[in-house]
Amino acid sequence: MPRAGGVLQGTSRQIHSGAAPMAGFLERQLGLPQERLRRLSHFVFLAATLLCADVLAMTLAESLFLANVGANRLPLFYLLLAAVSIPVASGFSHLVDRVPRLRLFHGLLLGSLGLAVLLRGMAVRSTLTGYFALYTGFSVLELLLEIQFWVLVSDYFTSLELKRAATLLVAAMSGGGLLGGAAASLLVETFTPATLLWLVPPFYLLAMAQLALLGRAQRPPEAADTEEEQTGMLESLKSFPLLVRRHPIVWMLALSALLAPFLRCVAEFQVFSIYERRFPDEQELAGFLGLLSGTLSVLEFAVLLFFTRPLIQKLGVHRMNLIYPVTTLGSFAGLAVSHQLPAAIAANINYETLGNSIAAPVDTLNYNAVPRRFLGRVRGITDGLCYPLGIALAGALLWVGQTVLDSLEITLGALVLTVGLLALGHGVGRHYLTSLVEMLRSRSVNLDEVGEGLAKLPPQYAEEVRRLLKSDDRNAQILGVELAARLNPAEFLSELQALLPSADVRLRRALVKLYAAFRPEGLAGQWHSLLDSHEDASRELALELAVAVPALRQQWLDRERLAALLHDPSPVVRGLSCVAAHLTGVRDEELEAACAAVLEQPLGPAAHLAMIQAVRSAADPTLLPLLRRILEHAEPTVQDDALDALASLLDRGAPTEGLEAIAADFLDHPEAPVRAAAAKLLGRIRTATAAERLGPRLEDTSQSVREQAAMALAACGEVALTVAEPYLASQRAEVVEAAITAIGAVRSPRAEEMLFRFLQADFRQVRNNLSWLPRLPADGAWLPLRTALEDSNLRITQRVLHVLGALGHRRTLNCVRRILFSTDERVRADAVEAVASLSHRRFVEPILPLLEAQAMAQPQRNDHQHTPVLQQPVAASELRQIAEQAATSADRWVRVGGILALAALPEPMPGALLREPADPLVRDALLHTLMRKGALRSGPGTEASTEPHVKGATFWDRSLFMNRVLFLKNVPLFKFLSLDDLLIVDQALVQKEYLAGELIFREGQPGSDLCIITAGRVAIRKRVQQHERVLAELGPGECFGEMALFDDAPRSATAVAVSEVTLLTLERSRFLSLTAQRPEIALEICKVLSLRLREANEQLGRLAAEAGLT
């Protein structure tokens, strides 16, 4: 019978303490640490034991059933099996989350032991009932043991570990199956099948001993989402619709779990009919089935080793879902053509071997996309209900069908249903990534999802909205207006009317937006009366609404009213009246002259901004000439709004004539928001010349301008590829990112291919890095190269993720990035699986080892890829070869690291490296190396005797940028920054020196710079209840005064030099300039500051408590 739970995935062999070579081999092959391999070894032997018992029992039961009952009664057996397994599985699912998994497994094995003895006794009686009970009993035991085994495996391993370990664990099952099948085939020559059934109970005893050893030696890793409300089958069915709504893959898995066993039963019925006809003798049939089971086990392992595992790594889980349905189509086609033994064996290979070695591992991996807290109930439904229900349907239809249909007609019907299985496989693969991302998003805050969740509020929030509208706080009032739009605005008429007289610009805008969208009855008359108000703000509000709503504009603004408003004392009212006059379409020379006069007046930023907002609200392309005149007279502070409004009018069909030149004039504006708005406008024009104008903006110093220029360039189509491609070669990482964004956003095959070619050098570098890092010493002269390689891995990973985001996976990757550094290893593994399942998999495959290493490592430092440290000495010649290869790398930092490593070696520099490089950083490193080589040849000098304050360094030259960057990399505040970012920080630092006892700054004084100690020690003191206490004494590599970078608050403590001190200082204005160019620098520093602030608060609390006690 089929294996019910699906053969999950698995790995490895027993790792004994003395088997270091084998342990090292497996660790390298599987990427699992030895602790995980030891855990895995328990499951390997348990799987082999269970499968040996399973294959032995099922082979004997099948042979006894076919020889004494006959294949024609298989449909009745299917019905009986379903009738027994459904209630048994339901009761079992009720226990699976209420009883500890190991204890439940022990109880299940003990029950299996007793049942096996009972079933053997029934087989001896040679009755029809006994043979049905024998076959049904062992089939149900197989179902329950496999369900519990895989639930236990999912407790102990993450999805990433299971995916890596799939081959060895299922290979162990194949080995166990081979042993069971071989035992049946060989021993049946001497003993009867009924006698051989006594061999089954000892295997259950062995499995119980293995479980006991597992419980003592290993504990399952903790996970954030394994808590589940205890439910039985009925409760699981009640929650099933809700789960399907959130994760559509669940119903597809359930339907597959019903259809797959149905088709397997049909194939098995056909195959066993042929076997029964070919081998009528009981012992001959048992010998054949035993030999076949052993052979299929060997074949199963071969398929896993040479086919399944490589293809899962290559194609991903979602594409692998199609393979087994296709082979099933082929097996039924073979049975349709020939109803003989070869076709039967081929069909048996499909549903047994390929089912267990391809379909089952993939099926279990599919459950990675089901929330772990629901996994028990989902598997209870699919394996405990759908699976036996599929068997029951097969039994019922075959029982009826064999009397009216021949074998060919049954086979053709199965062929048609297999097409449905193929469609389900496609659907499961398509929803696999979607469900994984949904799981990841449920574990992290998602701002997009928050906005979607507020689209419509429940009615019970009405009272809370009223409280906000009646509040005296302006922000609360604005929030109340926005939330009222998500209920029924008519319910809040009185509260909204009360806000009108005192509304400021922001509140007016919110009110206008609400009215323009919903037009609640009862407000129109109130707002109309505001046109005659003595308050400027009230008249401005009424005009904004009239401009936004055409019907009100026609009712309220006739010629006389407009003429009066054009001479209103308020410049905002006059400006809005001009907009309204243009919209009414009235052709009146007097009004046109008045409008022209208004536009020539110095209206001020507030009026110009109100006019621009009114144009945007009206969204009328006929306002384009007016908006261009507003732009001519607008102040720099509102020019970006004017340009943005121009872009919005182009979206409404306004003509582009003359706008390209206007936008080009603003591309060099000193204000970044104006340059960004000009770039956005050029993106709406979408001409070849517009694309050429946008190219240089990819090098803008402002990130917002670079991003807007990239998206605008992409909007120009394929021409953007030619413009953006040269910027991929920039030495500035932020410029490369902008070029990637522009190319990826084009979303064409040519764009994708261009990015893939661009990444080839990075992919080669990753392969080199993975080869070199395990062989490099972790300190000494090799520290620069090792740091450069780790930084290269980090930068390449981020670059590939950026490429994937540009190609359309941004939302998924935003979610993945938020949780990739989670402390929950299972969550990190799911994040990597989500990335590996993206449609652009070829971009992901080269960096998967980096992502997987990060996901499987203990979270210590999030800034580095986790790479193995040298375990055994490496020959000096091999190290020199690595350094020489690194010195010729295309990666500037790796090249610098290789050159500096060669500097510490006694051999001369290779001649090929002496050519002057174009990169100034590489040139400086080469010059330093040549100078050091000269110093080493001439004897000891000052250079070699000057040591750095960097752990593990053996030489130091303060003028060499790499040593300064390495020093900054060891400063805790900067540990998350890349080498590129640290180089920028280094250029902004200023050196200062203090004598012992000299005051650096005093508590309460204004401060504006961060201080980093490069030499000496500094005491940090603070007054606590009239007593000055030493909070800390800091040394080289530590920093203080960091809060001065973010605010103008006075110093919170006093800093005094304990000895002669050398500091590097970063002044606030320089820091703000850095973060304007590279905002990620501030974000990474904030990670560290939040941790330090928490530690400082705890320390202050302890000091205050101590002072209170004294």
Asked whether 794 and 863 are in contact (CB, 8 A), the reply is yes
- The CATH classification number of 656-758 equals 1.25.10.10
With a threshold of 0.75, does the pTM exceed it? no
pLDDT at position 1098 is: 66
What pLDDT, in 10s, does the model give residues 345-398? Answer: 999 898 888 887 888 878 877 877 777 666 666 776 777 678 778 888 888 888
Count of C-beta atoms within a 10 Å radius of residue 188? 25
pLDDT, the chain, mean = 78
Average pLDDT of 195-205?
88
1067's enclosing H/E stretch is: strand 1061-1067
pLDDT at position 327 is: 93
Q: Confidence class of residue 164 from pLDDT cuts 50, 70 and 90?
A: low
Q: Confidence class of residue 744 from pLDDT cuts 50, 70 and 90?
A: very high
| CATH fold group of domain 20-442 | Growth Hormone; Chain: A; (1.20.1250)
730-769: string of b/e by CB count within 10 Å (b at 16+)? eebbbbbbbbbbbbbbbeeeebbebbeebbeebbebbebb
| CATH fold group of domain 970-1109 | Jelly Rolls (2.60.120)
What pLDDT, in 10s, does the model give residues 32-50? Answer: 556 677 778 888 899 889 9
Asked whether 181 and 292 are in contact (CB, 8 A), the reply is yes
What pLDDT, in 10s, does the model give residues 813-827? Answer: 776 666 666 666 777
Residue 131 predicted with pLDDT over 70: yes
Q: What residue spans of 773-891 are helical by DSSP H?
A: 783-804, 810-819, 825-836, 841-844, 848-856, 876-886
Residue 960 predicted with pLDDT over 80: no
Residue 1083 predicted with pLDDT over 60: yes
User: What's the alpha-carbon Rg for the chain, to the nearest Å?
Assistant: 37
Residue with the bigger pLDDT between 110 and 226: it is: 110
Asked whether 1010 and 1063 are in contact (CB, 8 A), the reply is no
What pLDDT, in 10s, does the model give residues 45-69? Answer: 998 899 888 888 888 888 888 888 8
What pLDDT, in 10s, does the model give residues 285-309? Answer: 778 887 887 788 778 778 877 787 7
Q: Confidence class of residue 953 from pLDDT cuts 50, 70 and 90?
A: very low
Residue 29 predicted with pLDDT over 70: no
SS3 142: helix
Structure tokens of 965? 């960057």
Residue 461 predicted with pLDDT over 80: no
* Bridge partners, residue 1033, by sequence: 1019
Residue 30 predicted with pLDDT over 60: no
Q: Confidence class of residue 1080 from pLDDT cuts 50, 70 and 90?
A: low
pLDDT at position 444 is: 42
Place of tokens 């410029």: 735
What pLDDT, in 10s, does the model give residues 463-477? Answer: 888 888 888 888 888
Q: Confidence class of residue 487 from pLDDT cuts 50, 70 and 90?
A: confident
Residue 726 predicted with pLDDT over 80: yes
Q: Confidence class of residue 97 from pLDDT cuts 50, 70 and 90?
A: low
What gap in Å lies between CA 2 and CA 264, rounded to an integer? 8
Residue 233 predicted with pLDDT over 70: no
Place of tokens 């920080």: 985
Which of 37-46, 167-176, 887-896, 925-934 has the highest average model confidence (pLDDT)?
Answer: 887-896
Q: Confidence class of residue 489 from pLDDT cuts 50, 70 and 90?
A: confident
Residue 899 predicted with pLDDT over 80: yes
**Residue 258, CA distances (Å) to 139, 240, 267, 400, 970 in order:** 17, 16, 15, 19, 58
SS3 324: helix
- Range name among 11-25, 109-123, 615-629 with the lowest pLDDT average: 11-25
Dihedral angle, C-alpha 449, 450, 451, 455, nearest 10 °:
100
DSSP string, 698-714: GG-S-HHHHHHHHHHHH
pLDDT at position 326 is: 93
What gap in Å lies between CA 486 and CA 495, rounded to an integer? 16
pLDDT at position 1108 is: 56
SS3 1062: strand
What gap in Å lies between CA 239 and CA 237, rounded to an integer? 5
pLDDT at position 756 is: 94
Which of 121-135, 161-175, 678-692, 965-979 has the highest average model confidence (pLDDT)?
Answer: 678-692
SS3 1028: strand
pLDDT at position 946 is: 36
Average pLDDT of 317-327?
86
**What HEC string does 1072-1106 produce?**
HHHHHHCHHHHHHHHHHHHHHHHHHHHHHHHHHHH
Q: What are phi and psi of 989, to 5 degrees?
A: -85, 145
pLDDT at position 225 is: 44
Average pLDDT of 582-586?
75
pLDDT at position 239 is: 62
pLDDT at position 51 is: 87
Q: Confidence class of residue 752 from pLDDT cuts 50, 70 and 90?
A: very high
What pLDDT, in 10s, does the model give residues 392-450? Answer: 888 888 888 877 888 888 888 889 999 988 998 888 877 776 776 666 555 543 433 33
pLDDT at position 1061 is: 93
Q: Crossing angle, helix 34-68 and helix 20-30, to 10 degrees?
A: 80
- Range name among 95-104, 853-862, 878-887, 997-1006 with the lowest pLDDT average: 853-862
Average pLDDT of 585-589?
72
Average pLDDT of 478-500?
80
Q: In percent, how much of the chain has pLDDT > 90? A: 13
What gap in Å lies between CA 98 and CA 230, rounded to an integer? 6
Residue 43 C-beta-side C-alpha neighbours within 13 Å: 34
Domain boundaries, the chain: 20-442, 656-758, 764-944, 970-1109
Q: Confidence class of residue 86 from pLDDT cuts 50, 70 and 90?
A: confident
